[in-house]
Amino acid sequence: MFDVHAFGESALAFLVAFVAAGVFTVVFKIVYQAVTPYDEAKLIREGNVAAAIALGGAVVGYVLPLASALSHTVSLMEFAAWALLAGVIQIAAFTLVRFTVLKDLIDRIEKAELAAGVYLASISLAVGLLNAACMTS
């Protein structure tokens, strides 16, 4: 038999978690774009596919551990802590790539070089997957 009361409680918990995850994602995107030395919004509006791929990879790489945290945490505060950590790790990964592996990353993204965008997105996704896996215990 369908328990309307239990469904209502679960639906409320779902809404709180979904809204919190959405807010954390938007905040991450804003902070990430502030940290990168190029203007993703402008570049994407101009049709720069490399910038779109790089930013998209960073956002998906951030959301992967959020999904894991939602599955493994029991409170909003615990989820918030994991969300903060996931964001810091994604930004650290960008910084590491920028200053060690692809020192000309900014120029390459601004010149719409797909290889740089795909590489950065791949690193972001790999970091996000590892981050998510580490949050399971």
DSSP character string of 116-130: HHHHHHHHHHHHHHH
pLDDT, tens digit, for every residue of 58-82? 999 999 999 999 988 888 999 999 9
d(CA 75, CA 97): 33
Q: What is the pTM of this model?
A: 0.91
d(CA 51, CA 49): 5
Ranges in the chain, pLDDT < 50: none
| Domain ranges across the chain | 4-135
At position 75, the amino acid (one-letter code) is S
d(CA 85, CA 32): 13
